[in-house]
Amino acid sequence: MSEKYIGKDILKVDVQDKVTGKALYPDDIYFKDMLYLKIKRATYPHAYLRKLDLSKAEKLPGVVRIISAADIPQVKNFGLMIKDQPVLVGIGQKMRYMGDALAIVIAESKEVASKAVKLIEVEVEKLEVISDPLRAMDKNAPLIHQDGNILATHYLEKGDIKMGFAEADLIVEKEYRTSFLDHVPLQVEAGVGIYDKKSGVITLWVATQWLHDTQADIAQSLGLSKEKIRIIQPVIGGAFGKKEDISVHIHLALAAIETKRPVKLIYSREESMIAQSKRHPFIIRAKTGATKEGYLTAWQAFVIGDTGAYASSGPAVVHKGMYHCTGPYNVANVKGVAYTVYTNNTYAGAMRGFGTTQMAFAYESQMDILAHQLGINPAQFRLQNAYEIGSSTPNGQILTHSVGVKETIKEALNMAGWKGEAQ
């Protein structure tokens, strides 16, 4: 495979359609007699919904229907790993972040739908807004979800961490923090839906990264068999993990069933930023030991991942991040604990690197600090600790192939014109 593809110019099969404008994105799909949707979203990030007055919006000319939670009592929560996200927040239920949906406005035009959303009146009972995962973990913090604010806890242990630190001549202990990050795909969340009255099949033209998982999640939420949900994948328009999650899908399906007409929903960029997943912010406390000769002896990691208001793929992302706490470096003695924590922030999910990107900031910083304090060339320090065939990862996996860390470091040094010793 390497001889066939790597280092060669490979023609992208879809490039011509994208360059010439022939590629069909969700926003390009139109049907006769189509209706347009807009979503009324939460007015406060942590609050009970006490009143939802639709009367003014319903009287606006061009408004066809407004769907609230009271209209869909049979619809269940959805979610990528845990079904913890409501399709619509109902009276007496809790808003957990600003992206929570309160009502689906269906209108004859996008403009009318947008005006109607602004006419919906909302009354809430405000609760403490928890934006800091450390506050969420406090035993006295109000619960965002009834089962607790700590969604998942994972542990990691390899070797003897006490012995590893006892063998170290130098120990560096630091805390690192990473921030929320949006994927910003060029195509925001968008789609079109049609309901076939004869067959009962809902057809959705919506981009998704996990087509069959999305189909299954929609079906369980609506109480339908998977065969009743048909997803046609348009050009995805960029994703990077963001389009693994449900966005417009269920709202389109409900509107199509209700009106028996084609329906379209397109998020604004602002709405995409508020409502859809982000890269997890991590708090990482790393404690690393090394000998005076520059060999790592112990690595301890404490990780908190802020998954926001809902789980998405949070437990897997934070777990994966902890498993990569030492990066591509050999450490015989490792110990870690990782917490996936709910907050009232926009929920976080998959984004390129799946937890490892955040950890790289911590472990490479640790390596630089250790090298500096030991007086060892940082490139040499990395090379003498880097993985090779036969190395064991923090979770005990033995690497048997595709271990090119040392070669990569050396090539990077050559390309950068590095003058220090690194042999």
How does pLDDT run across 389-405, given as a tens digit for each residue?
999 999 999 999 999 99
Q: Sheet holding 121-126: strands in order across? A: 94-95, 47-53, 121-126
Residues shown for the chain: 423
Domain ranges of the chain: 15-127+184-275, 133-182+278-416
Q: How far apart are CA 412 and CA 57, in angstroms?
A: 60
Could you confirm whether domain 133-182+278-416 is CATH 3.40.50.970? Answer: no
Residue 423's pLDDT band (cuts 50, 70, 90): very low
Residue 1's pLDDT band (cuts 50, 70, 90): very low
Phi, psi of 276 (to 5 degrees): -110, 165
How does pLDDT run across 117-153, given as a tens digit for each residue?
999 999 999 999 999 999 999 999 999 999 999 999 9
pLDDT of residue 61: 98
Hey, is 54 helix, strand or coil? coil
As a whole number, mean pLDDT of residues 253-267 equals 98
pLDDT(236) > 50: yes
How does pLDDT run across 268-315, given as a tens digit for each residue?
999 999 999 999 999 999 999 999 999 999 999 999 999 999 999 999
pLDDT(419) > 80: no
Class of domain 15-127+184-275: alpha beta
Average pLDDT in the chain: 95
Q: Which two tokens stand for residue 274?
A: 């508020």
How does pLDDT run across 174-193, given as a tens digit for each residue?
999 999 999 999 999 999 99
Nearest to 79 by CA among 245, 242, 206: 245
Helix pair 211-222, 249-259: axis angle to 10 deg: 50
pTM of the model: 0.93
pLDDT(422) > 60: no
pLDDT of residue 18: 87
Q: How far apart are CA 361 and CA 353, in angstroms?
A: 12
